[in-house]
Copies of this chain bind each other. A is one copy, B any other.
């Protein structure tokens, strides 16, 4: 069983929530701020993880938040990844690296081994498909996977991803097709490849098209909650078995303890409650979906 089969089973059991540990110091409750900042960050993450291990399908750790604090921040990043691995959780390191040849080999070593080892990493494919290849030895072993940026939902996504080629396809369309082709050899028993795609919420027509065009490509879907994405939008990205994608929420979960509906709960309990609510909301939307 490869990593993608493990993720597929996990979703069938636990739902679709990808819990984003994009932890900013300012998110921490006052009682944690007494520690030094980087110990407090890890402490906060650890409690969130402990409270959500059975309700989050997978965790995504955004390295930028830790990198912004320098070496001590990256120490908290390392400890967070290590703790997740210790708990046998599936971890996506959101690093969006992208470089060529030997430099890409170095990024593969950095994020698939050693201090910063994760299960999946996100990649930026702008420089071309050869930037993915140095990661393939790790995928060949079935133990690591990639999510390449294909279609993001930020306002500027139209600038480059949205450029329309002479044949009528967008840069996102073409990137998706290339990612799919590259991933075929890494297809697991579940029918999905170890090379997935990051696809953000756009609109329902595009969503339906992207799911059918990119069959076999697992989706990492940002944009839920704080960024305005709704459960019914997310359901469109899933297949007839309601699988094939995970939906990320970061601030919506990490800051749940500040919402009126969770008043009286500690930050970890509120994060759990919000994860359960989000999981169930997506599961309901999936049930209500036309297949």
Contact = CB atoms under 8 A, between A and B. Distances in A.
Interface string A78-114: 1000000000000000001111111110110111001
A55 interface: no
A50 interface: no
Nearest to A168: B166
A71 B68 contact: no
A13 interface: no
Interface stretch (A120-128, A209-217, A252-260, A272-280): A120-128
B103 A62 contact: yes
Interface stretch (A28-36, A171-179, A189-197): A171-179
A254 to B, nearest CB: 12
A140 interface: no
Given A96-B97, A96-B98, A154-B128, A110 B67 contact: yes
Given A64-B107, A101-B154, A159-B178, 8 more contacts: A62-B106, A67-B111, A96-B124, A98-B126, A124-B124, A128-B154, A128-B158, A131-B156
Contact of A166 (B65, B154, B166, B174): B166
A164 B161 contact: no
B68 A78 contact: no
B161 A126 contact: yes
A152 B165 contact: no
Nearest to A77: B71
If over half of A's interface residues share one DSSP class (helix, strand or loop), that class is named, otherwise mixed; here it is helix
B152 A160 contact: no
A59 to B, nearest CB: 16
A125 B160 contact: yes
Interface in A228-250: none
Given A124-B124, A128-B155, A157-B127, A115 B71 contact: yes
23 contacts: A24-B106, A64-B107, A67-B111, A68-B110, A68-B114, A70-B115, A70-B116, A71-B78, A96-B99, A98-B124, A98-B126, A126-B149, A127-B154, A127-B156, A127-B157, A128-B156, A128-B160, A129-B156, A159-B178, A160-B171, A160-B175, A165-B166, A166-B166
